[in-house]
Amino acid sequence: MSGKPRLAVFASGTGSNYDAIFHAIERNEVAAELTLVVSDKPTAKVIDKARNNGTPTFTFEPKVYPSKAAFETEVMEHLHAANIDWIILAGYMRLIGPTLLHAYEGRILNIHPSLLPAFPGLDAIGQAFQAGVKVTGVTIHYVDEGMDTGEIIAQEAVNVQPGINKENLQKQIQTVEHRLYPAVIERVIHNEYSRGGNTTT
């Protein structure tokens, strides 16, 4: 890897995490190039944000491809053309398939709005809210073939204040995400995090 690591952010929605990463790079808090935004939703708000920031985008509609392997192969072509080193998932609402997993083994990160392994999958904040937990939070993890199952890199707890509504809990969690994700990306892409997990005796 020569020069700064090159990131592609994958997102399907609002893109507030994309924006937070973009601005952290701009402030030199993350030494990286944010070279590409990839989205499976051409009309997603993240695309407007990327255009405003001048980040190149690649969008596609999964339903026009015969298979996940077919659209991931095309995504790969764009990643290779842009010399992407790391894939950063930020609200990308699909499981990553073998095509991308093998090509970017150990170089795909995700952020999830709960303390995994609690509340994986869709609407993690709603799930935590419904369950009545007193503490939830944010997890950043490596991506494997499962749903929010890869090795955990970092977590931060968020207290669920008595009487808080779901919208305000979401705001609190997103505030943590926007600070934590850039900070963790900076460490991981510069090899300041060693993999391996815990050992049991």
Query: Quick check: is 112 catalytic?
Result: yes
Residues at the binding site for (6R)-10-formyltetrahydrofolate are 68, 93-96, 110
Handedness of CA 80, 81, 85, 86 (dihedral sign): negative
| The binder of ligand GRF chosen from 40, 112, 160, 182 (CB under 6 A) | 112
| The binder of ligand GRF chosen from 36, 111, 128, 153 (CB under 6 A) | 111
54 DSSP β-pair partners? none
| The binder of ligand GRF chosen from 6, 10, 15, 137 (CB under 6 A) | 15
Stretch that binds ligand GRF, among 24-32, 63-71, 72-80, 106-114 (CB under 6 A): 106-114
Please report whether residue 91 would count as binding ligand GRF according to CB under 6 A: yes
Stretch that binds ligand GRF, among 10-18, 56-64, 79-87, 101-109 (CB under 6 A): 10-18
Read off the amino acid at residue 125: I
Of 80, 112, 141, 190, which residue is the catalytic one? 112
Q: What separation in angstroms does the CA of 110 have from each of 100, 149, 159, 164?
A: 14, 10, 22, 27
x-or-dash string of contact with ligand GRF, 127-166, rule CB under 6 A: ----------------------------------------
Residues at the binding site are 15-17, 68, 93-96, 110
CA nearest 87: which of 143, 42, 48?
143
When the beta carbons of 73 and 127 are compared against ligand GRF, the nearer one is: 127
| The binder of ligand GRF chosen from 4, 13, 118, 149 (CB under 6 A) | 13
When the beta carbons of 84 and 180 are compared against ligand GRF, the nearer one is: 180
Which pairs from 79-84 meet CB under 8 Å and 24+ separation? 79/8, 79/36, 79/38, 79/103, 79/104, 82/6, 82/8, 82/35, 82/36, 82/56, 83/6, 83/35, 84/6, 84/7, 84/8, 84/35, 84/36
d(CA 187, CA 97): 26
Q: Is 67 exposed, middle or buried (0-12, 13-18, 19+ CB in 10 A)?
A: exposed
Binding residues for ligand GRF, rule: CB under 6 A, are 11, 13-17, 90-91, 111-113, 174, 177
Indicate which residues carry an active-site annotation: 112
